[in-house]
């Protein structure tokens, strides 16, 4: 009789332990759905400007991601395009095109598509891409003027209008 009671106590302890481990695993599972797991489709028009060649062509890229910078890197990776991003999150090279800021004053600049009412416009980002809230980006090489505004104006260009999220 004493053996049966001991056996029942051991079985009860094992059941409680298994249930406790199960609850712990469920509550600490990294795969559970949270707001951080939501993804968006991000679009990027990469304009190489004067650096465009037959091997380096401007065009649209896109990727699903949790944030714009991760999406951009995924889109570049998916397209087998080499790139470098500095430790601050700023683009330094895309497709081996690396403008020399010290010699030419050029660097990569990024604009985000801002919608107001029924119209939109490209606005220069004032944050690194990873902190941006937009889902469409225009990335190109530019210098800036005396007011530290990029000289290139993607709103004046037309190449980006026929593809990507703007395709008919």
Same domain for 48 and 9, yes or no, is no
CATH number at residue 115: 2.170.130.30
Same domain for 19 and 55, yes or no, is no
Same domain for 13 and 65, yes or no, is no
Q: How many residues does the chain have?
A: 168
Same domain for 81 and 131, yes or no, is yes
State yes or no: pLDDT of 16 exceeds 50. no
Name the more confident of 143 and 89. 143
Name the more confident of 64 and 31. 64
Number of Cβ atoms within 10 Å of the Cβ of 116? 7
Same domain for 27 and 47, yes or no, is no
Same domain for 63 and 133, yes or no, is yes
Note down the domain range covering 27.
1-32
User: Could you report the per-residue pLDDT of 93-120, keeping only the tens digit for each?
Assistant: 999 999 988 888 899 999 999 987 778 9
User: Could you report the per-residue pLDDT of 118-134, keeping only the tens digit for each?
Assistant: 789 999 888 888 889 99
Same domain for 44 and 28, yes or no, is no
Half-sphere exposure of 75 (CA within 13 A, CB side): 26
Same domain for 114 and 160, yes or no, is yes
Contact status, residue 71 vs residue 79, Cβ threshold 8 Å: no
Same domain for 65 and 12, yes or no, is no
Task: Check residue 44 and give its pLDDT.
Answer: 97
Task: Check residue 6 and give its pLDDT.
Answer: 61
Same domain for 129 and 105, yes or no, is yes
Task: Check residue 3 and give its pLDDT.
Answer: 63
State yes or no: pLDDT of 21 exceeds 50. no
What Rg, from alpha-carbon coordinates, does the chain have?
A: 25
- In the predicted model, what is the mean pLDDT of the chain? 81
> Which of 114, 97, 101, 112 has the alpha carbon at shortest distance from 49?
97
CA distances to 72, 74, 126, 138 from 78, in Å: 10, 6, 27, 18
Same domain for 87 and 17, yes or no, is no
pTM for the whole thing?
0.74
B/e letters for 82-98, b = 16+ CB within 10 Å, e = fewer, are ebebeeeeebeebbebb
User: Could you report the per-residue pLDDT of 59-84, keeping only the tens digit for each?
Assistant: 999 999 999 999 999 999 999 999 99
Percent of the chain with pLDDT over 90: 46
Position 150 confidence tier, pLDDT thresholds 50, 70, 90: confident
């Amino acid at each position: 009789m004493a053996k049966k009671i001991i056996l029942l106590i051991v079985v009860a302890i094992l059941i409680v332990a298994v249930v406790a481990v199960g609850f712990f695993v469920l509550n600490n599972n990294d795969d559970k759905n949270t707001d951080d797991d939501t993804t968006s489709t991000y679009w990027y028009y990469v304009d190489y400007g004067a650096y465009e060649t037959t091997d380096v062509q401007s065009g649209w890229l896109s990727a699903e991601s949790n944030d714009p910078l991760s999406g951009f890197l995924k889109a570049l990776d998916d397209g087998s395009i080499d790139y470098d991003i500095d430790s601050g999150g700023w683009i330094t090279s895309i497709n081996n095109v690396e403008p020399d800021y010290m010699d030419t004053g050029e660097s990569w600049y990024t604009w985000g598509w801002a919608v107001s009412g029924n119209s939109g416009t490209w606005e220069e980002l004032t944050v690194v891409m990873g902190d941006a809230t937009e889902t469409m980006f225009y990335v190109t090489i530019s210098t800036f003027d005396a007011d530290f505004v990029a000289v290139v104006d993607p709103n004046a260009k037309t190449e980006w209008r026929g593809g990507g999220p703007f395709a008919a």
